[in-house]
Amino acid sequence: MAPPSTIKIGGYTCPRVDIREVDPRDEKTPDDWIPRHPDLVRLTGRHPFNCEPPVMDLMSHGFITPTSLHYVRNHGAAPNLDWDSHRVRISGLVDKPMELSMADFTDPTKFEQVSIPVTLVCAGNRRKEQNSVKQGIGFNWGPAAVSTSVWTGVRVRDVLEYCGLKSQDEGANHVCFVGADPLPGGYYGTSIIRHAAMDPASDVMLCWEQNGERLTPDHGYPIRLIIPGYIGGRMIKWLTDISVTEVESDNHYHYHDNRVLPPQIDADTAKADGWWYKPEYIINDLNINSAITSPAHDEVVTIIPGQKATYACKGYAYSGGGRKVTRVELSFDEGETWELTTLTHPERPTRAGKHWCWCFWEYEVPIMRMLRAKQMMVRAWDTGLNTQPMNFTWNVMGMMNNCTFKVRIHDASEGNGLSLKFEHPTQPGVLPGGWMVPKVEVQAAVQVEKKVEAKAGVKYFTEEEVAKHTERDDAWFIYDGKVYDATPFMDDHPSGADSILLTAGEDATEEFDSLHSEKAKKMLDDYYIGELGVSAADIDTVVSKVAPLKDDVVGTSALNRPKALNKKKKMAFALVEREEITHNVRRLRFALQSPEHVLGLPVGQHMFVSAKIDGALCMRAYTPLTGDEVQGYFDLLIKVYYANEHPKFPEGGKMSQHLNSLTIGQTIDVRGPLGHIDYKGKGLFDIDGKEIQCRDILMMAGGTGITPMWQVMSAVLRDEADSTKLNLIFANNTEDDILLQEELNDMDSENEQCQVYHTIATPKNPETWSQGVGFITQEMVEQQFGPARDDAIVFLCGPPPMINFACLPALEALGYKKEQIFQF
C-alpha cells in the first residue's frame, strides 16, 4: 500500500490510497489480478467481490472517498478489458449507428469533458437491518454502501446527439445500456427514459476517470455509466452497448433486480405471479436517508463526575433526484421530540441547482443527557419535504431501507465509574454484533442444526478427505462443522458452478452465510453427507459396516465383474442402439467399457448424466432400466420434452432433447452411483445407512418417476426367493403418457405378489377405462395399499405437487408414519 496522497480535480481535493498488491483472498478466483484494499468488508465471501469500507474509515476521509475504499457491487467476475481495443456500440433509433473507441470519447474536439462529484449508493444500503427481521434474497449491506467520487467523462446527451438521436415521434423513448460482465441471466443491462438521458440538468455521463485517475476494474474500466441521483444498480460498468429503443430494456437484470415489491410478496410469489415485470415497483431515484457514524458501534464513553462534558454525534445524509438535504434531526426520547443538527454541504450545486452528493451533520450533546436515554435516532429532510419513516417496510429484495437509524445506549459502568456503550443496529456482512441481529441468528442456527442432526447414520470425514473433492464433478464443502456434497447442485446454482468451486474442499461457512438466505440454508440438508472431525480410522470403520449386495440378488458372477461406474469421475459411454417407442419416448442403449463389465449401480440408486449443451454444462439424474443383471450395456428410458410444447417451459427439456439428438457412436458422461436408498434383497433396504426390513413395498410414481420403481420391482421379481409384495400406483396425464405400460401390466398379470394400478387425468374413452381417473386420492391409496402397517415401506417419485398435495396427505390421513415414507 502506497502512502496516502491527494489530487485536485474539478475544484475538489481527492484523497488517494493506492493499493498495489492482490489480496490473498482473491487467489484462485477469476479476480486474482486485481489489487484491492485489505480493510474492505467482504459481504459475499471471496467471490464475487461485494464490499463496503468500515464506516469509520469511510467517514475519516470526508467528502471524497478514496477509490480504493469506495464500495463495490459486482455480480460476477470483473472483465479484463483493454483500453485501446475497447469499443462502445451505439445502435437502435439513431441516424448514425456507430462504434466509439476510448480515443473517441476522450477527444475534446468530439465531446465536451466534464468532472463533477457524485455520491453513489447501492439500493441495498442498510439491508442487513431488514434481513435481521426477515431474510430476503439479498446479502447483508451495512450502512457504508455509499461513497463519493469526482467522475470525469462526457454527457450521454452529447453522445446521442452526435449519433443522430431520433425523435420520440419516431419511437425513441428509452436508452438501454449493457455491460461486458457475463452472468447466469446474460450480460448485465438496464435502461432509463429518454428524458433522463437527454435532460441537461440530469448530468448523465459516460465516465472513464474516478478521482482523477482511470477507472479501476472493480469500478468499470475502461468506461461506465454515471446517473447522478439514481441508485447504483442503474449505472452500468464495463459499458459495451447503448441502444435507443421504443420500449424499456428487456434485460433479465432490468426486471429481476432493483425493485421494491409489496411486503406480502415473497420470492416465490414474485416469480409465479409476474411481480418482477410490474413497472410501478422499479427503483430509479435514491430516497432520503441518513445514519449515525459517531458514536461508533461498541464505542465506550466514560463520564467524569463534575465535568460538563459533551459528545459530538456525527453522521451522513443524502437524497436522490438532485434534491438538497435541508435538515437532519436527532431524537433521544423515542421520537417524541427532535433537535436540529448542524449541516455541512461540501459540494457546490450544479448550474441547474442540483445536489448530487451526500452531506454531513454534527450535534454536540451533553453526555449526562445520553445517560438518561435508551437510544438515539436520526432522520433527514430534503427540499421535497421527504423524511425517513420510524420503521422500515420489509420487501423481498431488502432495498431502499431508510427508516430512522437507531443507536442503542447501554450503561457500561464498572465499579465507581460511569460509562456508556453504544450499539448500532447491525454490522455488515457476517460480522457479529448489532442490537437487531442476535435473536434471528440464534434461531436460524438452531433450525439448521435440528434439521441436520435429525438425519442419522451418516459418515464422518477429516478435513484432508474433504480437501480431495474439489472438481466440478465431485465437489464437497464444509459448513458449520458438517460436510456437504454440492455436486448435484452444480447445474442449478443461480450464480453458476464457479461459485461452488471457489470453496470446494474447504470450509465455506463465511462465504455461505454472506451469500445465502435462510431458505437456502434449509436446503443444505438435501446435500448433507457427514460430519467433520473424525479420524480416518473411524471413517474406515463406518464404511465397513455398509453391507455388500447379496449374492442371491445379483448373482456371484455380477459381483466378480468389473464395474463401469466411477463415483469420483465421469465415464464416457457410447450410444449403440436406440428405439423409438412413441413420438416422445426413447429407449437408448449405451455400451460399457467391455462385454464383461456390469454397470455397478445398486438397486435404488441413480447416476448423473452430463453434457455440454449450448456451451454450458447440463447435468441430470437418471435411473436406468437395466442394472447389474446384464453385462456390457445399460438402457435409459427417456421422455423427450420438446421446445415450445409447454408455455411455462418454452425451451423444453435441455437434457432430454440432447439425448434424443444423439447418433450412434456419440457419447454421454456418467458419474455414480449416487443416492441414499439401496435395496439388498428379500425386503431389506439400507436407507441413509440404516437397515429397514419390510414385507410390503408400496410405491406411488408420476410420469418419469416410474424408473426407480421399475428398478426395485425388477430386482424383487428376478429373485425367486424374494417374496416381498409390490404395490404400485402410477399417475399420468393420458394413456399415451404411461411409460413401460405393457411391461408393468405383464408384471401385474404374471406375478401374484405384484399389483399395478394406473390413474390418468383424461382417459381417451372413460367408458372403457377401468382404473383410476384424476389425481391420486386418499380413497385410491386406501383401496390399493390397505391400512397402515409397520411392515410396509412407501416410496414416492414424481412431480412435487403430486407428492406434496396428493401422496403425503393421503398417507398421513391413513396413519402411515413419516419414517416409513421415502422419496427417490
Question: Which residues carry out catalysis?
Answer: 122, 257-258
3-state helix, strand, coil in the chain (%, to 5): 25, 30, 45
A 10 A CB-CB count for 562 gives: 12
Which helix (H) or strand (E) segment holds residue 711: the answer is helix 706-718
Characterize 608-640 residue by residue with b for buried, 16 or more Cβ atoms within 10 angstroms of its Cβ, and e for exposed.
bbbbeeeeeebbbbbbbbbbbeebbbbbbbbbb
- CB count within 10 Å of CB 541 equals 12
What are the CA-CA distances from residue 300 to residues 156, 312, 631 (Å)?
A: 49, 14, 75
For residue 549, the one-letter residue type is L
Spell out the SS3 assignment of 146-159: EEEEEEEEEEHHHH
Measured at the CA of 372, the angle between CA 368 and CA 375, to 5 degrees, comes to: 110
Q: Which among 669, 694, 690 has a CA at the least distance from the CA of 681?
A: 694
What is the Rg, in whole angstroms, of the alpha carbon atoms belonging to the chain? 32
Q: Is 335 left (phi over 0), alpha (psi -120 to 50) or beta?
A: left
As given in the structure block, the three cell numbers for residue 496 are: 453458476
Cα angle, residue 236 at apex, residues 235 and 241 outer, rounded to 5°: 135
> Helices 741-750 and 706-718: crossing angle, nearest 10°?
30
What are the residues facing 573 on neighbouring strands?
668
Say if residue 122 carries a ligand binding annotation: yes
d(CA 526, CA 706): 21
C-alpha torsion sign, points 591, 597, 598, 599: negative
For 315-349, the three-class secondary structure string (H helix, E strand, C coil) is EEEECCCCCCEEEEEEECCCCCCCEECEEECCCCC
Termini Cα distance of the chain: 55
Q: Which residues contact 414 (CB under 8 A, 6 or more apart)?
A: none
CB of 8 closer than 8 Å to CB of 16: no
Q: Residue 93 in contact with residue 171, Cβ under 8 Å?
A: yes
Q: Give the CB-side neighbour count of residue 718, counting CA atoms within 13 A.
A: 18
Cell triple for 242: 447503448
Peptide bond before residue 48 is cis, with ω within 30 degrees of 0: yes
Residues annotated within the binding site are 122
Residues annotated within the binding site for Mo-molybdopterin are 122
